[in-house]
Amino acid sequence: MSFAVRMKGITKHFGAVAALNNVDLEVAPGTIHAIVGENGAGKTTLMRVLYGALHPDSGTLEVEGNPVRFTSSREAIEAGVGMVSQHYGIIPAISCLQNLILGAEGGTLLNLKSAAERAQELADHMGFQFDWLKDAETLSPAGAQKLEILKLLWRKARIMILDEPTAMLSPADSAALFESLDRLAAEGATIILVTHRLPEVLDHCSRVTVLRGGVRVDERLVSETNGQQLAELIVGGSVAKHTPREAPIEAPVSLEIKGLTVKGSRGDMALKGIDLKVRHGEMLGIAGVDGSGQRELFHTLVGLIKAAEGSVILNDQDLLAKSPSERIEDGVRIIAEDRHEEAVIEDWSLDENASLGLQRLAPFANGPWVDSAKRHEKAGEIALRFKTKHGGLNLPMASLSGGNQQRFVAARALCLNPKLILAFQPARGLDLKGTQDVYDGIRAACAEGAAAIVVSFDLDELLEQCDRLAAMNGGRLAEPDAAHARDRTAIGRLMVGVG
Amino acid sequence: MLSLLLLTVALSTPLILAAMGGFTSERGGVINIGLEGMMLMAACADALASPKFGPVGGLLIGIFAAVCISLLHWLVTQIYKIDHVISGMALNAIAAGGTNFMHLKFTDEAHKGSVPNFPTWVFYILAFVIPIVLWGYVRQTRGGLRLLAVGSDPDKARLMGVQPMRVRFFGLLATGVLTGIAGVELVAYTGVFTDNMTAGRGYIALAALILGGWRPLPALGACLAFGFFSALQVQLQGTPVFGISIPAEMWAALPYLVTIVALAGFLGKNRTPAGLGRA
C-alpha cells in the first residue's frame, strides 16, 4: 500500500531536549488522520518538519512515495504539502484576495480579475462566501479559517496539515469546517489534523496517532478505540472524569452588573444592557461565538474601556468609579485573551513577568521599591503552580512554549488573593491535564470566596467545568431557564440569538 | 499666481522623490530616517562628478552614492539586525560629515560656480510620474504585493514562501535610486553643492509619507501641500499682516508649523505598516 506521507525515525532536538524521538508516521491517501497528544508532546514540531519549516536531526520523509528532503516551506508547498498553523497566517492589512494569492501569484504582473474568478470558483466549490476585495481584518475567526483552507487549495496542496483548526470556532462553525474537510478527503485530499479535542477525532478521523513526550505511543484505527482509552494513552495514566457541582450556590452576591452598556470600537454598541449576578464562590461560564461582546465586557470590568451606562458593584463597592490600579488592589484579576498583547512581555524574564499588573502589591513592591528577592520567590511559586516548564526564571518569557506561557499567566492571576477572576479562554493551548489543573485552580480560588467569570468558545468545556452558564450574542447576555440550565442545545440556541 | 504654482512644484519635487524613496523602504517594513543622508550623499557626488563626466555621469554617480548608503542600511538592519532608527541616524551623521569633507577636499576649483546638470523640468516630470508608477506597482504586481505583505507581517509572509530580506533588498535598492535622483535635483536646482544643503528635507519627506498613510498618491499630495506653504512664505515674506510686519524667520517657520499641526491632528485611521521595524 502506498502512503501519502511516510515519516520514519524522525528525531529532532532543541538544545539538549529531544522534541521528537524516533517518531514514525504513516498516513493513507484520502483520509483524515488525527495526531493527538499533550502540549509539548511534539505534535506541532512533527508537522513543522513535514512542512519544511524545521529540519530533523535524523529520519526520512516520503511524500506520495517519493523520498524528499525539504529545506524550506517553499519546497514543501511545491511538493503538495500545505499547513494551516494555530495562529492563522492571514495578514489583516491586505485584502482577502491578496492573502489568497500571496506567495503563489502565478506571474510578475498580477491578473487580479482572473485571480478573483478562480478564487470565486474555489469558494463556490467549498460553499464559502467571501468579499474578496475587503481587507482581511474584517474576517471573523471562522472566515479566516475558511480563507486558510482556500489558500491550501489555491496552492494545489494534496496533503493538508491543520493545527488545532477549531480552537477559535463556535460549534456550528466547527461542524461546517468538518463538513468541508470530509468533502476534501472524499475528493482525494489527505488531511492531517492536530487536535486536543477527542470528539473531533472520534467523529471525523479514520486513524489516530498518539504522541507523548516526543515519542509515538500508539497508532490506531479510530473505529477500534474510544475516548477514554485515547485520553489514557495521551496522559499515560487514567483520567478521572470531573463532575460539576449540582447544588445551587446560596452565598451572597459578589458581583452585580446592571444595565451595562458600552460603545464598541466602530461606534456601534458592543454591550447592550448587560445584567448579571455572580455569587461568592461561583464560577460562571459565558458561552458565545467570538466577538459577541465578551472582550468588551472584560475590558470594561478591568477598566480599559469606559461604560456608557449602567453600574457594576463588586463586594459593595462601585467598581466603575475606580481606576484600573485600584481595581487590581480590590482583587480584580484577568487571564487575558491575547497572551502576547495583553498578558506578557516576551523580552522580559519570568521574574519580571510575574509582577506584571501586580507590581504595586506586596510582595512585589516594597514602598516605591521593587523587592526582587521576594519577586523571584513568588515567580517560582507561580511557575510551580501549574507546572510551567522553563529553563530558569531569569530567562525571557519568549523562551517558553505557548502552553507554558498560558500556565504561567493563569497561575499569576490566581496568586495574590483574587476576588474577581476574569478568565478568557483560560485553557487556551493547554492539554487535557493542563486544562483541568487551571480550572481546579480557579475552583480553589472560588472556594475561598472569589467570584469567577470564564469565557470560552468551547461550550463542552464550560458545561464540564462551570457552576452556571450564560450565553452572549451581539452584545446581549442571556441565561437559560432553570429547566435547561445545562442543556447543550438550549445554550447553543442562545449563542446564536435564538431564544 | 503662476509663479506661485511653479515655485510650489519646484519646492515639492525633491520632497516627492525622497518620500517615494521612503515609501519603497518603509512599506516593506524598514524604518528609514536616513533619507536625508542618502539625498545629501547623492547631491555631493553629483556636484563632484558632473564637471568631469557630464550630467548623465553625475546623475549615475549620484544615484550610486545614495544606493551605497541605502544598501548599507539594508545590511545593517536586515543582516546584522541593528535597530532601524539607530542605523538611520548613523547614516545621516556619516553623510553630513562625509560630504563636508569630500566637498572641501575634492571640489574642482575651475567649476566652483556652477555644475552642469539636467534641466529641472526633467525632475518635475519624474516627481509626478513616479508616485503613479509606484501606486500601480503595489496594486498590480507580484513584487508590490510581496512588499505590502512583508511590511505588514514578515513572519506570516515567510510562512507563505516569501523571503522578507530579499523583498526588502529590492525595496532599499529603489530607495537608493529615488533618493539619489532627489539629491541630484537639489544640485540641478541651485547649481552648486553647499554643506548640509538638504536642510531637513529628508525628514519632511518622511513626515509627508506618514501624513499620506504610507500610500504614494496621498504622500504626493502631502509633499505638494508642504511645497505650497514653502512657496507661499517666500512670496509673503515682508508683507505686513494687519499692519504688523512679521519677521522673516516667522514666515520661514510656516511650512513646518503646518506639517506639525497636520501630523498631530489629521492623521485619521492608523495605516502604519504593522511590520515596521520588525525582523
Would residue A248 count as lying in a domain?
A: no
Q: Which contiguous run of DSSP H or E holds residue B32?
A: none
Greater model confidence, A34 or A434? A34
pLDDT of residue B268: 62
Would residue A179 count as lying in a domain?
A: yes
Tell me: pLDDT of A431 over 90. no
Query: Cβ contacts (< 8 Å) between A107 and chain B: which residues?
Result: 142
Would residue A416 count as lying in a domain?
A: yes
Nearest CA distance, B167 vs chain A (angstrom)? 12
Same domain, yes or no, for A230 and A266? no
Query: Which candidate from A85, A90, A109 shows the least CB-CB separation from B140?
Result: A109
Domain count, chain B: 1
Query: Cβ contacts (< 8 Å) between B153 and chain A: which residues?
Result: 91, 93
The tens digit of pLDDT for each residue in B105-122 reads 888 777 666 788 899 999
Write the ipTM: 0.85
Would residue B278 count as lying in a domain?
A: no
Pick the closest to residue A185 from A31, A67, A52, A58 (CA basis): A31
Cβ burial, residue B108 (10 Å; 0-12/13-18/19+): exposed
Chain A CA closest to residue B142: A108
Query: Which candidate from A73, A77, A105 shows the least CB-CB separation from B142?
Result: A105
Tell me: pLDDT of A245 over 70. no
Would residue A240 count as lying in a domain?
A: no
- Cross-chain Cβ contact B152/A107 below 8 Å: no
Give the mean pLDDT of chain A. 86
- Cross-chain Cβ contact A92/B152 below 8 Å: yes
Tell me: pLDDT of B221 over 80. yes
Would residue B54 count as lying in a domain?
A: yes
Number of CB pairs, chain A paired with chain B, less than 8 A apart:
61
Would residue A243 count as lying in a domain?
A: no
Chain A CA closest to residue B167: A103
Q: What is the DSSP string of A264-316?
A: -TTSSEEEEEEEEEEETT-EEEEE--TTSSHHHHHHHHHTSS--SEEEEEETT
Distance of alpha carbon B138 from the chain centroid: 19
Same domain, yes or no, for A87 and A118? yes
A439 — pLDDT class (breaks 50, 70, 90): very high
Same domain, yes or no, for A14 and A79? yes
pLDDT of residue B215: 94
Please say whether the beta carbons of A235 and A215 come within 8 A. Answer: no
Helices (H), A344-487: 350-354, 372-385, 402-413, 432-447, 459-465
Q: Is A476 left (phi over 0), alpha (psi -120 to 50) or beta?
A: beta
**Strand A190-194 with A32-37, pairing:** parallel
Q: Amino acid letter at A102?
A: L
Query: Choosing among A77, A88, A99, A102, which should be mutated to test the B contact, i.e. which has the most B CBs within 10 A?
Result: A102
Query: Which candidate from B144, B161, B273 shows the least CB-CB separation from A77?
Result: B161
Cell of A397: 518569557
The tens digit of pLDDT for each residue in A249-269 reads 788 999 999 999 998 766 678
pTM reported for the whole predicted model = 0.76
State the DSSP code for A151. Answer: H
3-state secondary structure of A377: helix
State the residue range of the domain holding A69: 5-235
Same domain, yes or no, for A208 and A344? no
List the beta bridge partners of residue A284.
Answer: A453, A468
Q: Is A186 on the interface with B (CB under 8 A)?
A: no
pLDDT of residue B164: 92
Would residue B274 count as lying in a domain?
A: no
Tell me: pLDDT of B276 over 70. yes
Beta-strand ranges (E) seen in chain B are: none
Question: How far apart are the C-alpha atoms of A63 and A424, rounded to whole Å?
Answer: 40
Q: Which contiguous run of DSSP H or E holds residue A160?
A: strand A159-163
Domain count, chain A: 2
Nearest CA distance, B249 vs chain A (angstrom)? 42
Residues 103-142 of B with CB under 8 A from A: 139-142
Q: What is the DSSP string of B142-210?
A: HHHHHHHHHHH-HHHHHHTT--HHHHHHHHHHHHHHHHHHHHHHHHHHHSS--TTTTTTHHHHHHHHHH
Please say whether the beta carbons of B41 and B99 come within 8 A. Answer: yes
pLDDT of residue A75: 87
Same domain, yes or no, for A198 and A330? no
Q: For residue A399, what is the domain's CATH number?
A: 3.40.50.300
Which of A200, A235, A270 corresponds to the end of one domain? A235
Q: Is A75 on the interface with B (CB under 8 A)?
A: no
Question: How far apart are the C-alpha atoms of A469 and A273, rounded to whole Å?
Answer: 18
pLDDT of residue A244: 58
Same domain, yes or no, for A295 and A191? no
**Percent of chain A scored above 70 by pLDDT?**
94
Question: A181-185, A240-244, B189-193, B206-210: lowest mean pLDDT where?
Answer: A240-244
Chain B CA closest to residue A137: B152
Q: For residue B131, what is the domain's CATH number?
A: 1.10.3470
Would residue B106 count as lying in a domain?
A: yes
Q: Is B213 on the interface with A (CB under 8 A)?
A: no
B88 — pLDDT class (breaks 50, 70, 90): very high
pLDDT of residue A499: 56
Same domain, yes or no, for A316 and A208? no
Prior bond of A363 cis (ω within 30°):
yes
CB atoms within 10 A of CB B222: 27
Which of A202, A235, A268 corresponds to the end of one domain? A235
Nearest CA distance, A128 vs chain B (angstrom)? 22
- Cross-chain Cβ contact B159/A53 below 8 Å: yes
Q: Which contiguous run of DSSP H or E holds residue B265?
A: helix B248-265
Nearest CA distance, A74 vs chain B (angstrom)? 5
Distinct helix (H) and strand (E) counts, chain B: 10, 0
Would residue A106 count as lying in a domain?
A: yes
Which of A235, A265, A283 corresponds to the end of one domain? A235
A498 — pLDDT class (breaks 50, 70, 90): low
Would residue B277 count as lying in a domain?
A: no
3-state secondary structure of A247: coil
B144: phi then psi, degrees, rounded to nearest 5:
-65, -45
State the residue range of the domain holding B228: 2-269
- Measured at the CA of A360, the angle between CA A359 and CA A361, to 5 degrees, comes to 95
Tell me: pLDDT of B185 over 60. yes
